[in-house]
Amino acid sequence: MKRLREEAAAALFALQLLTRVPIPAAIGFSQARQGKAVGYYPLVGVLIGAVLAAVWWAAGQLFPEPVSVLLSITAGLLLTGAMHEDGLADTVDGLGGGNATAALSIMRDSRIGVFGALALISVLSLKAAAMLALPAAALLVGLVLAHALSRLSLILVVATSRYAGENFGSKPTAVGIGAAGLALSLLTGLAVCALAWMLLPVSALASGVAGLTLGHGASRLLFERKLGGYTGDCLGATQQLSELGVWLGLLAAL
């Protein structure tokens, strides 16, 4: 029973870390719970995708398709506090620095630069365009698939790279992820893919996963060579490019 309570607390921490949803203060904070929460990120992605699907469907009862898609994207920005979008912008801005030290300094700056703004506009626009072009059923499944797998994608960076930022002890993803957390995140990703396999053509699912893989690889090419690892901002960039990869992969096959 104690083990179940600890797992539930870790899952709630993951929800709080990735969204603006508050959790009861009575749960209590611990470094161990915060670290364990990383394994629940894909599950939180499932919940985020489900909420955005509900927003899209409800908005579609009142508004034309472009408006419902944009309202769904806006709901995602509000629900997550745009934390991954902020990471994308900061990462792209930081990579303009001459070396790793300069890049990390730029990434810590709260102001957004031209490169970061253009990257953010481009990614959001491409996601909206892809969602608009997909059939309704594929869009609904895609919201859950893209948000779950893109958070699994950032966990794979945590599992296979090293933390290159500062404030090591205060970051839940800085210390990596244990075997149990990695297994949980992988199982969640597989379960989501199994559900999508029942609702989408196999070719579309395969194309979406291929797009995810390309987005994951592209994000790592952006930051690992210069930084020698990842930061929290880099994980945000990975999530955003991986999510975009899923959308473009689905669109290519449908």
pLDDT in tens, 79-137: 999 999 999 999 998 887 677 777 777 788 778 888 889 999 999 999 999 999 999 99
Q: What angle do CA 179, 185, 190 make, to 5 degrees?
A: 120
The token duo for 169 is 């002890």
* Residue 32 banded pLDDT, cuts 50, 70, 90: low
177-184: Cβ within 8 A, 24+ apart:
177/35, 177/38, 177/39, 178/35, 178/36, 178/39, 180/39, 181/35, 181/36, 181/38, 181/39, 181/155, 182/39, 182/155, 183/39, 184/39, 184/40
Nearest to 220 by CA among 171, 158, 127: 158
Name the β-bridge partners of 230: 163
**Nearby residues of 88 by Cβ (< 8 Å), 6 or more positions away:** 116, 119, 120, 123, 233, 236, 237, 240, 241
Q: How remote is the C-alpha of 51 from its chain's centroid?
A: 15
Task: Tell me: pLDDT of 21 over 80.
Answer: yes
- Which stretch of 2-6, 104-108, 204-208, 226-230 has the lowest confidence by average pLDDT? 2-6
Which stretch of 27-36, 83-92, 158-167 has the lowest confidence by average pLDDT? 27-36
pLDDT exceeds cutoff 70 at 27? no
Average pLDDT value for the chain: 89
> What pLDDT band is residue 172 in, cutting at 50, 70 and 90?
low
How many domains would you assign to the chain? 1
Reduced to 3 DSSP states, what percent helix, strand and coil does the chain have, rounded to the nearest 5?
80, 0, 20
Band the pLDDT of 57: cuts 50, 70, 90: very high
From the centroid of its chain, how far is CA 101? 26
Task: Domain of residue 239: give its range.
Answer: 2-253
User: The pTM is what?
Assistant: 0.93
The pair of structure tokens assigned to 120 is 């953010």
Give yes or no for residue 169 having a pLDDT over 60: no
d(CA 154, CA 165): 16
Supply the pLDDT for residue 167: 61
169 or 27, greater pLDDT: 27
pLDDT of 174 > 70? The answer is no
Q: Residue 4 has what pLDDT?
A: 79
Task: Please tell me the predicted confidence (pLDDT) of residue 111.
Answer: 80
